[in-house]
Amino acid sequence: MNADAQDRYLFRAGSLLDPLQPELLGPHDVLVEGGLIREVSGQPLHAPGAQVISASDLTIMPGLIDLHVHITATQLNLGQQLSQPNALTAAKAIPILKGMLGRGFTTVRDAGGADLGWKQAVEGRYVEGPRLFISGHALSQTGGHGDNRAATDFVHSAPVCSCCFRIGQLSRVVDGVDHVRKAVREELLMGADQIKIMASGGVASPTDPVGAFGYSEEEMRAIVAEASARGTYVLAHAYTAAAIERAIRCGVRTIEHGNLIDAETAALAQRAGAYVVPTLVTYDALASEGARLGLPPESVAKIGMVREAGLRSLEFLKGAGVRIGFGTDLLGESHRLQSNEFLIRSQVLSAQSILQSATTTAAEVLRMENQLGRLIPGAIADVLLVKGNPLSSIGCLAEMGTIRLVMKGGKVYRNELSDRMSPG
C-alpha cells in the first residue's frame, strides 16, 4: 500500500459518473482534502499544493459497495474450514481483502465471520482492504444454515464461551428467546455494526433444506428488538417467499439472497421499506466450480433450484420497486469473480440501477447517505478512475484493466497513473 504523505489531490477527469444521473456528466474537477471530497466542479479548480491527476480520458466515479461478503470464508467447505489453524485462515483472508479493494470495492458489509480486529487492522492500514461494516458471527438455530455439523456428528450440550471462536467460524448456534437476546448483546459488545440471522435454510450448510424456516417469529422479534435498542438493524438470510414474508413481518430490514421470492412478497417488501440484497454470482460460482473446490455433495445438490430462480427474483423486485442492494456472497477462490455480479444483473436491470445498488442504495443500507456512494462535497473520498462508461456498458467494471486508480478515504491504494501525477 502507499503511505501517502500528500492528502490533497485534484482530479481532472474527462467525465463524472453520478449514480443519480442517467448519463455521464462532462469534464469535472474533483478536489480531495483531508480524506473528504472538498469541491466538485464542471469548471477548472485552482488548488495550490495539491497533487494533480490528469485523467481527461477517464471517468471519475464513487467507490463501490458490496453488502454481502465473508472475508474469512477462505474455502468453499465451511465446515472443513473450522479445522484450519487461526493463523492460516487469517493469512488466506488478507489477499481476499486486498482483491476486493483492487476491484474498486472501497466498502463492504461482512455478513458473518469478521470481528472488530479486522476493522481495526484495515483502519490502521496494517491490512489493505475495503472499509468494513461487520456483523460479527451470524446467529443460527440448531440445525439451521449456520450450523455446520453433519448429521453424523455427535451433538452435545456442553457450553462454549461466547468469545472463543475459530477465525473461520462465520456463525454461532443459539436457540430460544432469552438466549438470542443475550447473543445479540454479545455480538454488539464485541463490535458488530449490525446483526445477521438465518431465517431459512441454505446451500452451503449440510442438514437444512433450502425451504426450511429458520428462527421462530418470537426469536426473530427479540433479535430485532435488541438490535433496534442499540440503534442498528437486522439482516436475514432468506430464500423462500414464506421465509422472507416472516422476516419482514418481524422487522428485519434487509433480506439477503431472496432467490425464491414471488411478486406478492416483493410488494410486501416494498411497502415495508425493506431492502433485498441478491447474490447471484455465488450460485454461478458454486455450480461451475463448487464440487472441484470442495463444496460438500449435499450442498452441490441444492444449487440448481436457487440458481435458476435468481434472475426471476430480479424481475419481481424490479416490478415491485423494491430497493435492491449489491451483494456477492462468494467463498474461497471464487472471490475473484466478485465483479461478475454486474454482468449477471445486466440481463434484467439497467446499468444505472445496478450502479445505484452498489453505491447510493448500498449507502442507504449502511446509513451512510451522502457520505458514501457519491462524489459530492463533504462525502468520504472513495474515488475510482475507470476506462469507459459504466452507465452504457456496466460490464466494463468486470474487465481487466478498466479500473486505473482506487482511492479510499483520501488514500491511494491502486494507481496505474503515476505518470499522470504532478504537483499543483
pLDDT value at residue 79: 76
Q: Tell me the CATH number for domain 8-63+374-423.
A: 2.30.40.10
Candidate ranges 59-73, 204-218, 301-315; pick with highest mean pLDDT:
59-73
Q: pLDDT tens digits for 7-59? A: 899 999 999 999 999 999 999 999 999 999 999 999 999 999 999 999 999 99
Cross-strand partners of 28: 13
Q: Give the whole-angstrom CA distance, residue 174 versus residue 183.
A: 7
Number of H helices, E strands in the chain: 13, 18
| pLDDT tens digits for range 290-314 | 777 677 777 777 787 788 888 999 9
**Residues forming a β-bridge with 257:** 238
Pairing of strands 28-33, 8-16: antiparallel
Mean pLDDT estimate for the chain? 92
Q: Which residue has the higher pLDDT, 91 or 160?
A: 91
Q: pLDDT at position 162, please?
A: 47
Side-chain-side CA neighbours of 186 within 13 Å: the count stands at: 15
- Read off the pLDDT of residues 241-293 as tens digits, 9 standing for 90 and up: 999 999 999 999 999 999 999 999 999 999 999 999 999 999 988 888 777 76
pLDDT at 168: 84
Res. 6 pLDDT band, cuts 50 70 90: low
Per-residue confidence (pLDDT) for residue 312, from 0 to 100: 95
For 379, counting Cβ atoms within 10 Å of its Cβ (0-12 exposed, 13-18 middle, 19+ buried), the class is: buried
pLDDT surpassing 80 at residue 225? yes
Tell whether the torsion through CA atoms of 238, 244, 249 and 253 is positive or negative: positive
- Mean pLDDT, range 160-172, rounded to an integer: 72
Residue intervals in the chain for CATH 2.30.40.10: 8-63+374-423
Q: Which fold has domain 64-338?
A: TIM Barrel (3.20.20)
The model's pLDDT over 274-284, given as tens digits with 9 standing for 90+, comes to: 999 999 999 98
Residue 117 · residue 176 · CB < 8 Å = no
Q: Where in the chain is the domain with CATH 3.20.20.140?
A: 64-338
C-alpha span between 239 and 276 (Å, rounded) = 11
Residues 116-164: tens digit of each pLDDT: 999 999 999 999 999 999 999 999 999 888 776 766 665 555 444 444 5
Handedness of CA 132, 254, 384, 97 (dihedral sign): positive
Q: State yes or no: pLDDT of 4 exceeds 80.
A: no
pLDDT value of residue 208:
78
The enclosing H or E element of 96 equals: helix 86-102
